[in-house]
Amino acid sequence: MSGRLHGRVAVVSGAANGLGKAAALRLAREGAHIEILDIKDASQAVSEIRELGVQAHSIICDCTDEAQVDRAVKEIDARHGVVDILVNNAGILTARKPWLTLTKEEVNRFVQINYIGYFVVTKAFYPLIKKSKTPRIIMVASRTYFLANPGQMAYVASKGAVMGMMRVLAKELGDDGIPVNAAMPGMVATPGTQEHSQDEAFNRVMGNQAIKKRVTPEHFAGLIAFLASDDAELITGQMILCDGGGYLH
Ligand SMILES: NC(=O)c1ccc[n+]([C@@H]2O[C@H](COP(=O)([O-])OP(=O)(O)OC[C@H]3O[C@@H](n4cnc5c(N)ncnc54)[C@H](O)[C@@H]3O)[C@@H](O)[C@H]2O)c1
């Protein structure tokens, strides 16, 4: 398979479903070999990816657990010896809940999965990413950080922390030539969002966009593939939205 990511090795967390799966399929379509980390079984995604003619594997892995992530690093090191593209995507979403009703445990759960998980995975894969001639780190974040949606404090805070991590890493990893960016989707229908939101909510969000078209996982996957490509070599420390102009900086 040829393509602009031909032969590169991409690790995508949370790619059993939703945005991660779409990103993994798109990177594969552009020629990358795919390694999926997910707490859920990702064998369906793996077989769809293999049909595209690239290598694909999935590892059951809780991204917040250092021992499990280290085991995944060893397995991928043995298979490929390098990681060119890391897409931190595994996360949890939420129904709206007034901040005063949140418990410390609930807030901590969002911080652990959505923020600490990205840190654990990035730190563990760094030695393999450093070996790449075309390294990329992409953090899937959320524009809710800008929107500051009432009722989403724990989620928004965890995703805001991801932006902070991304900005500092972009500077710290500059000497290694590793671009680090955050990609943010609009509200996209996925198993995660559909647990809490119905069609009416997706249409309402679309109604607030400049371009009134539902954002799909495939739209977002296109942004991920661009950030992974050679064209994005000098794009780093950026927060890029794919939301049809629903939020303008
Ligand atoms: N869909 C949207 O509208 C939207 C908007 C903004 C940001 N995001 C972000 O995009 C990412 C993907 O969201 P989605 O909508 O595809 O959600 P999803 O729930 O459909 O998929 C998330 C995947 O992450 C996995 N996962 C969760 N916790 C994990 C852990 N600890 N270790 C390993 N895997 C884990 C799940 O098993 C699942 O396969 C999330 O980080 C989310 O915050 C989504």
Per-residue pLDDT of the chain (249 residues; tens, 9 = 90+): 579 999 999 999 999 999 999 999 999 999 999 999 999 999 999 999 999 999 999 999 999 999 999 999 999 999 999 999 999 999 999 878 999 999 999 999 999 999 999 999 999 999 999 999 999 999 999 999 999 999 999 999 999 999 999 999 999 999 999 999 999 999 999 999 999 899 999 999 999 999 999 999 999 999 999 999 999 999 999 999 999 999 997
Tally of CA atoms within 13 A in the half-sphere of 190 that contains its CB: 27
- Enter the pTM of the model: 0.98
- Residue 249: per-residue pLDDT: 79
Domains and CATH numbers, the chain: 9-241 (3.40.50.720)
**Looking at residue 116, what DSSP letter applies?**
I
Atom number in ligand 1 closest to CA 191: 20
Angle at 74 (CA atoms; ends 72, 75), nearest 5 degrees? 65
Nearest CA to ligand 1 atom 28: 91
Task: Find the radius of gyration of the CA atoms of the chain.
Answer: 17
Give the three-state DSSP class for 87: strand
- Residue 95: per-residue pLDDT: 78
> Which of 13, 25, 39 maximizes ligand 1 atoms within 8 Å of its Cβ, making it the mutation to test the pocket?
39
16 lines ligand 1 (CB under 6 A): yes
Nearest 10 degrees: CA dihedral of 125, 138, 237, 219?
180
Atom number in ligand 1 closest to CA 88: 41
- Distance from Cα 89 to the centre of ligand 1, integer Å: 6
The bridge status of strand 180-185 relative to strand 239-242 is parallel
Active site residue ranges: 155
**Looking at residue 144, what DSSP letter applies?**
H
> What's the CA gap between 161 and 145, in Å, rounded?
9
> What's the CA gap between 45 and 28, in Å, rounded?
11
246 lines ligand 1 (CB under 6 A): no
The 180-185 sheet, strands edge to edge: 56-60, 33-38, 9-13, 85-88, 136-140, 180-185, 239-242
- Residue 1: per-residue pLDDT: 58
- Residue 96: per-residue pLDDT: 87
Cβ(202)–Cβ(244) below 8 Å: no
